[in-house]
Each structure stands twice: as C-alpha cells, then as structure tokens.
Amino acid sequence: MLWARIRHIRIYRGIYSKFFCNRVFDRILEVIFKVNIVESEIENKMRQKLKLHGAIFIKFVSPSVSGVPDRICILPHGRIIFVELKREGGIVSPRQKYIHKKLRHLGVDVRVVIGMEQAMEFVREVCDEHGKS
C-alpha cells in the first residue's frame, strides 16, 4: 500500500504527495529511506531553542555578495555569530569558504553547522557560554 502511494511522489523543489501532508510524508520517507531533514526544519528547531535562551536567530540575505552565511545568531550581551546552515550531507561551496575566511580574518565568529546533531550541539555550546543552559 505504501509503495503504491510512493509512486505518486512528485519532485519539484522538494517532495510532495497527493496523499499525505508534506511533513508527515517527509517523516515517512526519512524513516524508510533515510532521507535527510531539510534545512528549514533545522533552522526552525534552532530558532525555537535559541529563543528560549534570549537569542535571536534570523535569516540573512545579501543581494550584492554571494557566499555570505545565511543566518545570524544574536546572543545576549551583544555577541553575534554568523551561521552557515546545511542539511546533513550538504557541502560548503568554494565561494562560501572564501567569504567565511575573509570574515574570520576580520574577527567575525563564523560557524558552519551541518545537520540536526551539530545544530543542537551549537545551541548547547552558545547557551552554556552564557550560563543559561
């Protein structure tokens, strides 16, 4: 029965189904086929956890410079961390590596977080540093 439903998968910028809502269907595929969690789910989980500790986690888009980290984490006491978030198996492009190196040279804290496990590790780390974990 499940295989009959999986036949109706349509791939177009993500996975959609005629029979399930996207979240339920993505979870089924994740469990059965070890499909990776998408970046937006990781971002939402990080935002929720960081918000509990008084931080702000926002999406950053630069229209003129490609390769900049795509999230900014603003912590209590003015600490700012630029975060490049990738889903499990995602890779950092050469352009992103170049921009990250330039930012680090200027003294900016830039982190690359790959997957949900590293995301939760990042949250624990930054919250522990501020004594709010």
Please check whether residues 85 and 52 belong to one and the same domain. Answer: yes
Question: How many domains are contained in the chain?
Answer: 2
| Same domain flag for 26 and 65 | no
15-47 pLDDT, tens digit per residue, is: 444 444 556 666 666 666 555 567 888 899 999
Judge if 56 and 113 occupy the same domain: yes
Q: Within this chain, do residues 71 and 124 fall inside the same structural domain, yes or no?
A: yes
Span 73-97, mean pLDDT?
91
Read off the pLDDT band of 4 (50, 70, 90).
Answer: very low
Do residues 74 and 56 lie in contact, with contact meaning Cβ atoms separated by under 8 Å?
yes
Q: Are residues 29 and 44 in the same domain?
A: no
Q: How many CA atoms lie within 13 A of 127 on its CB side?
A: 20
Residues 26 and 83 in one domain: no
Task: Identify the domain containing residue 26 by its residue range.
Answer: 2-33
90 and 49 fall within a common domain? yes
43 and 90 together in one domain: yes
85 with 118, same domain: the answer is: yes
Sheet holding 56-59, edge to edge: 56-59, 71-74, 80-86, 109-114
High-pLDDT (> 70) share of the chain, %: 69
Tell me the pairing of strands 80-86 and 56-59.
Answer: unpaired
Q: Which of 119, 69, 109 is nearest to 92 (CA)?
A: 69
Residue 130's pLDDT is 64
Neighbours of 112 (CB within 10 A): 18
